[in-house]
Structure 1
Amino acid sequence: MPRITNPILPGFNPDPSILQVGNDYYIATSTFEWFPGVQIHHSTDLANWELVVRPLNRKSQLDMRGNPDSCGVWAPCLTHDGDKFWLVYTDVKRKDGSFKDTHNYIVTAPSIEGPWSDPVYANSSGFDPSLFHDDDGKKWFVNMLQDHRRRPRSFAGIVLQEFDASIGELVGPKKNIFLGTDLDLVEGPHLYKRNGWYHLLTAEGGTGYDHAVTLARSRDIWGPYELHPQKHVLTSKDSPLVALQRAGHGDVLDTSDGKTYLVHLTGRPTTQNRRCVLGRETAIQEAYWEDNWLYVKNGPVPSLHVEVPGTRDDTKYWAEQKYEFSDGLPQDFQWLRTPEPERIFTTKNGKLILLGRESVGSWFEQSLIARRQTHFSFDAETVIDFSPTDERQFAGLTAYYCRYNFFYLTVTAHSDGQRELLIMSSEASWPEGRLKMPFADPVQIPNDGKVKLALTIRGRELQFFYALEGEELKKFGPIYDASILSDECGGHQAHGSFTGAFVGMACSDLNGTVLSAMFDYFVYRPVHHKTDIYEV
């Protein structure tokens, strides 16, 4: 079979849940605070994947206004019971400190494109829920259990309860069926049944460099569950030099042609500080069954190169993407938290219009439209028409991770009304979330006219550029450290930042007058560069 290079879903696509329906494969991944919620990719050969739907796309399904960074939609589980698709997900309202507010829901659809139903509430006892359809027709809901009294972490095991689809409720007894191993932080449960054995796949060790996939099995769904002979069927924690680090949170696929695969999240760190700018990505491993136990081929360390049925076509991956807005917002883009996009953007006459709302980094309503960074090096460019009157109105081009870490080239104005260009950055400033001072010296520009804004990222180096109408691009500001746009610098302590770097357009009006900015287009241009390692 052909060999491909991991990951199969590059850039911020963590917590994969995979299934096969007929000749089609689907993977659902977490989206956290980015709206619409959940990404579902489709493939027919396990090599080439295309985003087909983000199913949580309306207020009745998901409203994340006020959710802190790296909260929102965690660890979706996508299944099919022979009749329809089922999607289980968590909406996390708080994660830091002793308490976690984690609400679990279920939606269904007759086809992957939808329509997806309004959610059925399941429970709030933990996160990372999944739904298992047993061969006797019963459906079982599993999630990690949290106990705020437990120290140092609140992870207390995996809880199981039956779900009655006829009434849309959890019913009957619930039981903690697996406490995890000494690696701790057990989460991400998935149940399978094979040859009379129930197999429980979990994630452990946190989502950093100690992450792992753990397997246990039982003849009875209620347990007791015995550990796999290897304990962890996949992990990079003891192999710091392999390309795919942070390997964990997996899901198993037994294909219709008798093959077995494990999909899992992974990170590709760069720089001496081991920073994963592209966030947690989805990789795939060959696997096999022996003595009713699952093993990863050449495991438990993940392989960079894997055999799958298809041959990958990387043409689109390396192609320049010029986005225009004549047909609305292109699918690659998302925004933050709000289910009311009409309050933050619209498209008109082929242009994107952002309505100035709250400050960049707001947890409620900010106008920021962006796409994932999926390459270690790239160029981005846009043209903006914006007429601010003072320093509280600003719009432009941003490389963004979260409220604590971003770089932002803005068109703004001095307090006297003179328009100017200004770079704002907030570099690893948790917990304050303050802008880094002093700013690079602003550049005065005419009060009328469009401005071209651009940036280049080459590995860890970020450089901004600008051009007035009829002029060539020129450098603006110093070279910034783009590697801080990473999980490791995302404003939280260990195991606390879960997304990835984005690049896009933003607009703020702190006067409350909703001054709008118009963008003609957006370009994302991947670049091969000598500093990039393990590129797809």
Structure 2
Amino acid sequence: MSYINNPILPGFNPDPSILRVGDDFYVATSTFEWFPGVQIHHSKDLIHWKLVAHPLNRVSQLDMIGNPCSGGVWAPCLTYSDGIFYLIFTDTKSVDGWGFKDTHNYLVTATEITGEWSDPIYLNSSGFDPSLFHDDDGGKWIVNMLWDYRSNKNLFAGIVLQEYSVKEKRLIGKPVNIFEGSSIGITEGPHLYKYNGYYYLMTAEGGTGLHHAVTMARSRHITGPYEIDPENPILTSRFDPTLALQKAGHASIVDTPNGEWYMVHLCGRPIPANGRCILGRETAIQKMLWTEDGWFRLEHGGNKPQVKVPAPKLPEHKWEAEPVREDFDSERLNIHFATLRIPLGENMMSLKERPGFLRLKGKESLISTHKQSLVARRQQAFKYTASTCVEFEPDNFQQMAGLVCLYDRQNFYYLRISYDEELGKCIGIISAQNMVFNQPIQEVAIEGWGKIYLRVTVDFDRLQFYYSKNEEDWIPIGSVMDASTLSDNFSEGMGFTGAFVGICCQDMSGNDKHADFDWFEYVERE
């Protein structure tokens, strides 16, 4: 028997929505303020996964300039009907506190998963986590959680249902609150399914932290009333802190061509040192079955997630290994790279002006929510080494470029090249923990250096920077720092993303000083 090892999508890949079309499985996950929006992974066997698409890849679909940290794209839902892929998502414009939230829901479509997706159709703004259900009679229905800003009420006010008209490209009729949640509360992440004459409503409850859970309810009628599963929650880690997969919740289900059932779900893996999930919220999978009385259960029994899960009876399909070094020889960024809030046009980034190099033109600071010349990729292993080679000639202290490890604008470690009036061209570390800045740390003169090699090694909660003149003799700079601050468990704001590592350039004097990066390398270690 072959097995699936969890998580199937390591690193920041939360809120999974799974879909099968023929022999192909796809999972869409949230991207929040990172651009392009929504990650779609592809698998043939549920074991091996490959990142293949970012549907929201232009500003006409997704303009997040000014969006807050952990705003942006929440909880996509990926479905398919009559030769068309449908993707529904929330663009969250405000997340501060537990009062008002501005959450706008949209729909985009495509005929090919890796092709061009349409401009968005606006749906509503009544809450977040929208999901599209295609009924067998041809009807299409949207469900989303309802947000009630009144503090003396239930903020998570239930799941509302409304019909969607393909012809009119809008919601029609009045929304109906079909489910107010179970006793667990914080009811969100709804998905509707139909099986053996019942409508099944799957929700996420308990909040997306350590009390997260998956719950089910069913009804003979789409509008309810819905009968709550007597054994809810059907999946959770909330009662067992020893489990490797914590935060289990926010799920989606799929069947295989031969009738096996699986459920993908959100999870987090705390590190032993302090319990922080430095890889963010990830995606795992569990094997499921339907009981004789029509409820959905983990095949291994109980409701706890397993790390090792029986694989389906399908041919194994491995993907070609990804190269660890990106040489910037293409005119398009590698699919694993992301930027913050907006795509970087030629006024901020160029792969053409100096072929074989990524040129970043300095814009705003690392705390900006508007224009950051920053390109980064997800941290997807507890241990990794990332390196780069940069050419940069700053004229003043407001110009800087280098290698950055960051969670968001409030939490980062930045090995940056800059200019000091006494040292001249120099290198040092800037860091921030919940907006408390430490700058600069251990400035070292590198006057006259052309190419500068930068490196970071991360080992669970230990982070160490290095620099070199020749890519052979690496000199440590600064002390060993706490990598676990780059996690939602540490962030004092709304923290829903994960740690990234990448390259960036700033010019806060407004002169667009550029830095040229020859390559970027990311190597995971055992």
Q: Fold conserved (TM > 0.5)?
A: yes
C-alpha spacing 1:125/1:105, structure 2 compared with 1 (3 Å):
same
* Partner residue, 1:117: 118
Give 1:523's aligned residue.
521
Task: Give the Å deviation of 1:339.
Answer: 3.5
Aligned to 2:174: 173
1:479 matches 2:480 = yes
Q: Name the structure 1 match of 2:298.
A: 296
| C-alpha distance in structure 2 between counterparts of 1:446 and 1:276, whole Å | 39
SS at match of 2:484: helix
Contact 2:191 2:252 (C-alpha < 8 Å) held by counterparts: yes
**1:390 positional shift:** 1.4
Deviation for aligned residue 1:468: 1.9
Q: How many residues align?
A: 519
Letter paired with 1:518:
D
Q: Which residue of 2 aligns with 1:533?
A: none
Letter of the aligned partner of 2:349 in structure 1?
F
Tell me the residue number matched to 1:452: 453
Following superposition, the deviation at residue 391 of structure 1 comes to 1.1
Structure 2 match to 1:326: 329
Q: In the alignment, what sits opposite 1:103?
A: 104
Question: For residues 39-58 of structure 1, what are the structure 2 equivalents within 5 Å?
Answer: 39-58=39-58
- Asked if the contact 1:387–1:447 (Cα under 8 Å) also holds between the matched residues in 2, the reply is no
Tell me what 1:504 maps to: 502
Q: How does 1:392-411 map to 2 (within 5 A)?
A: 392-411=398-417
Matches within 5 A, 1:278-317: 278-290=279-291, 291-298=293-300, 299-309=302-312
Give how far 1:297 is off.
2.0
Match of 1:435 in 2: 437
Q: 1:491: how far off?
A: 3.2
Shift of 1:404: 1.1
Q: Match of 2:499, as an amino acid?
A: A
Deviation at 1:312, TM superposition (A): 7.2
Q: 1:114 to 1:391 in 2, by over 3 A?
A: same
Cα shift readout 1:420-472 (whole Å, capped 9, x = no counterpart): 00100002x2xxx23125x4220011144111010111111111000124761
How many angstroms does 1:487 deviate by?
1.2
One-letter amino acid of the counterpart of residue 189, structure 2: G
Structure 1: distance between partners of 2:389 and 2:449 = 13
Comparing 47-56 with 251-260, greater Cα deviation is found at 251-260
Q: Deviations over 1:358-389 (max 9, x none)?
A: 00131111011001100100111101100111
Map of 2:10 onto structure 1 = 10
Matched, 1:357 2:363: yes
SS of alignment partner, residue 346 of structure 2: helix
Q: Is the 8 A contact 1:4 1:311 kept in 2?
A: no
- CA 1:311–1:138 in 2, change beyond 3 Å: closer, same or farther? closer
Deviation per CA, 1:144-179: give whole Å up to 9, x if none.
Answer: 000100448621110000000101111012111111
State the partner residue of 2:464: 463
* Aligned residue in 2 for 1:372: 378
Q: How does 1:54-453 map to 2 (within 5 A)?
A: 54-97=54-97, 98-151=99-152, 154-290=155-291, 291-298=293-300, 299-309=302-312, 321-327=324-330, 328-347=332-351, 348-415=354-421, 418-427=424-433, 429=434, 433-436=435-438, 439-453=440-454
The answer as to whether partners of 1:108 and 1:116 remain within 8 angstroms in 2 is yes
Shift, 1:224, TM fit: 0.7
C-alpha distance in structure 1 between counterparts of 2:458 and 2:392, whole Å: 25
Residue ranges of structure 1 left out of the alignment (5+ in a row): 529-536
1:343, distance to aligned residue in structure 2 (A): 3.2
Q: Which amino acid aligns with 2:364?
A: E
Q: What SS does the aligned partner of 2:438 have?
A: coil
Question: What is the rounded CA distance, in whole Å, between the counterparts of 1:245 and 1:254 in structure 2?
Answer: 24
In structure 2, do the counterparts of structure 1 residues 233 and 422 end up closer, same or farther at CA, with 3 Å as the change threshold? Answer: same
1:342 CA drift (Å)? 2.9
Relative to the length of structure 1, the TM-score reads 0.94
**1:162-201 Cα shifts (integer Å, max 9, x gaps):** 0001011110121111111222111000000111100000
Q: Return the TM-score normalized by structure 2.
A: 0.96
Matched with 1:514 is 512
SS of the aligned residue for 1:390 comes to: coil
Q: CA RMSD in A?
A: 1.6
CA spacing shift, 1:148–1:187, aligned 2, 3 Å: same
